[in-house]
Structure formats: C-alpha cells, structure tokens
Amino acid sequence: MREVVDIRGQRFGKRVVIGLAPSISGRARFYVRCDCGDVTHVFGHLIRDGKGHSCRKCQRIQGSLKKKDALEREYVGKRIGLRTIEGIQFGSWGKTGSRGFVAETVCECGYRSPVSFSALKRGIVNGCISCSKKLKKKQDM
C-alpha cells in the first residue's frame, strides 16, 4: 500500500485540490477544481510532479495564447499582399463562427478590417473588397 500524501486544500497552478477521490490500483486520486470552474479528478503523484495544473480547456486556451504571441512577434508590421498586419487576435468570425486567429489589417488604401489569418497567409484574401476588385481588373487585362 502506497502512502497517501494528503494534498487537499493545496493549489497547483490554476487548480485547487478539493477532496479525495476513490483511488485506482492503490494510487491516490484527488478532486481538483480549476479556476475556470472545471472539476475533475487527477492522480496525486501526477499533480505533485507538475502535471495537470490546469484543465484541458485552460491548457488549450493557454496554448492558443502562446501561439498568438508567437504569431504577433512574427507578423505584426509585416505586409501580406496589399494588407499590413497591425495585430492578431484569437476569436471567431463570419457566419459560420469558425474559431481561429484573426488578423487586424490595414489595406494599402487605408481601409481597416479584420480577416482570417490563415486565409490571408494562404493568399485567399488579399486587399479590401474594392482593392481586390481593382486588382482583379488589372489581372484580367
């Protein structure tokens, strides 16, 4: 029988241990509540090892924030097509409500609008609507 280290009431990252959960194969498990309200159970040894210090949802959000920071460092001030990127946000857009990175951009003509970052990077969107039309006319000629 393993010794149970009682960590009830302790905080690990975003999670607070709120109670003892039924153990599995003699391994102590605890109920934990994340700052976002998510309650689940984790193995005591894992959380003491520095694992699972926030719930999956928070980890995902944190991962996205990290990625957003990296994208900001790399792309803010850069020009893709006719647009210069002024900022990057994580959110949803459009009728479908797809989630992902949104680039705050300013077109060559001065028109500001947010666009899907991935669409911009893949060249699916270029300038604002009126500039794109002009561009298309030029290419057609």
DSSP string across 118-137? HHHHTTS--S-HHHHHHHHH
Q: Length of the chain in residues, anyone?
A: 141
Q: Which of 58, 106, 119, 135 binds Zn ion (CB under 5 A)?
A: 58
Please say which residue, 2 or 66, places its beta carbon nearer to Zn ion: 66
- Which two tokens mark 106? 């300013």
| Of 16 and 20, CB closest to Zn ion | 16
Q: Which span (43-51, 56-64, 66-74, 92-100) binds Zn ion, by CB under 5 A?
A: 56-64
52 lines the binding site for Zn ion (CB under 5 A): no
What six digits make up the tokens of 68? 């957003």
Comparing CA positions, the residue from 89, 93, 124, 91 lying closest to residue 103 is 89
Joined tokens for residue 66: 């990290």
Mask of contacts with Zn ion, 79-108, x by CB under 5 A?
----------------------------x-
- Alpha-helical runs (H) found in 1-141: 44-48, 56-75, 117-121, 129-140
Q: How far apart are CA 16 and CA 18, in angstroms?
A: 6
Site string for Zn ion, 2-41 (x = CB under 5 A): --------------------------------x-x-x---
Q: Which residues contact Zn ion (rule: CB under 5 A)? A: 34, 36, 38, 55, 58, 107, 109, 111, 127-128, 131
